[in-house]
Amino acid sequence: MPTASFAQLPNAQPTADTIRKDILANPGFGRYFSDHMAHIRWTLDAGWHGHEVRPYGPLTLDPAAAVLHYGQEIFEGIKAYRHADGSVWTFRPEKNAERFRRSARRLALPELSDEDFIGSLKALLAHDQGWVPTPANEADECSLYLRPFMIASETFLGVRPSHEVDYYVIASPAAAYFKGGVEPVSIWLSANYKRAAAGGTGFAKCGGNYAASLAAQKEAEAHGCGQVAFLDAAENKWIEELGGMNLFFVFKDGRIVTPKLTGTILEGVTRDSVLTLASDAGLQPEERHISIDEWREGAASGEITEVFACGTAAVITPVGELVGEDERIRCQPSDNPVAKQIRRTLLDLQYGRAEDTHGWLTRLV
């Protein structure tokens, strides 16, 4: 695929090497940003144009820019991994590009081609490859988190799709998402809030979905939980997903079940990869409805042996317990062998320690 041509506007005052090294030694998540950002502009008349990589820095937006009022915005999350030979790779970027177009259609934003999406990642990394941390060992899950996003930037307070749009990619070095690594997390079952409903934006990765999940996230934290699980809006019965991750249920007979895509769930790239890797490992993946009653009864009877969450940021994380207003649902104690095995397989692929038999890796630098 040819890389689109990006104008190069190098940062004249990049972060000093010593400071960057200190940041990379302890980056946390989403706190520090690399020296550049990629940008492409869209207007109704001219379409996509003005590809550039320019210094990272504040945007100038008119206070009447549509995104600030009506939330016409979408984003993606994808990582760059440094391999042992120093090369830098990303994982299934064409899936993120495809999802970005699905999100764009739902939010009435213009669609960006694979060429521009993947080209923008390559163009940014050509400048900022020094921001991709080098893992110290196989347990070190550091990466450069890439955040492509698109905003409605037209100065206009009318409620209609914006005639001017800007697309950017920024990059943030990241350590493991959950400090505890593969320690099981507690999940709050939201009784008061829904994440998405039929016909809404659940399948799109738009800021509004996350804004709407924050009150539930606050509730979760007040109950000592790190994430929220949402049930469907129509029947309040079917498991959908977490605020930022998809869910899997491992059955003792080798089935591994994830809620099927109904338009209200985000189609995770990790979810799709787990379905394939589970099948490679001899498990029987199923995409179907799974109810809160099935979770409760399966955990109690031992039919369900493990529950885990998955997503780009946190990879795969075992769910220790589901906490509700007046109950706690826990599987019988186990070392979560299936979650750990799939996690290891996925990480080995992403960091280039295993053969890429599915052709999932794209070299960025």
Ligand X SMILES: Cc1ncc(COP(=O)(O)O)c(C=O)c1O
Should residue 245 be labelled a site residue for ligand X when binding is judged by CB under 6 A? yes
The answer to whether the beta carbons of residues 37 and 10 sit under 8 Å apart is no
* CA–CA gap between residue 301 and residue 305 (Å, rounded): 9
- Residue of 27, 119, 268, 320 that binds ligand X (CB under 6 A): 268
CA angle centred on 143, ends 138 and 146, rounded to 5°? 155
DSSP summary character for residue 129: G
Kindly state the smallest distance separating residue 272's Cβ from ligand X, in Å: 8
Q: Which is nearer to ligand X, 305 or 312 (CB)?
A: 312
- Cβ proximity to ligand X, 38 vs 146, nearer residue: 146
DSSP for 59-79? ----TTBHHHHH--EEE--EE
**Selected binder of ligand X within 174, 266, 299, 315 (CB under 6 A):** 266
Distance CA 132, CA 203 (A): 30
Comparison of 14 and 244: residue with beta carbon closer to ligand X: 244
Q: Which is nearer to ligand X, 20 or 205 (CB)?
A: 205
CA 86/CA 352 separation, integer angstroms: 11
Which DSSP string corresponds to 131-143?
GSPPPSSTT---E
Shortest gap between Cβ of 250 and ligand X (angstroms)?
A: 18
Tally of residues, the chain: 365
Least distance to ligand X, CB of residue 317, Å? 11
**Per-residue x/- mask for ligand X, residues 68 to 87, rule CB under 6 A?**
---------x----------
- Taking CB positions, which residue lies at the least distance from ligand X? 268
Query: Which of 152, 3, 178 has the alpha carbon at shortest distance from 73?
Result: 152
Q: Could you say whether residue 35 binds ligand X (CB under 6 A)? A: no
* Strand pairing class (361-363; 88-91): antiparallel
What is the Cβ-side half-sphere exposure of residue 116, based on CA atoms within 13 angstroms? 23
Of 57-65, 143-151, 157-165, 268-276, which part binds ligand X (CB under 6 A)?
A: 268-276
Using rule CB under 6 A, residue 270 touches ligand X: yes
285-314: which residues touch ligand X (CB under 6 A)? 311-312
Piece in contact with ligand X (CB under 6 A), picked from 53-61, 146-154, 239-247, 334-342: 239-247
Chain positions contacting ligand X, by CB under 6 A: 77, 241, 244-246, 266, 268-271, 311-312
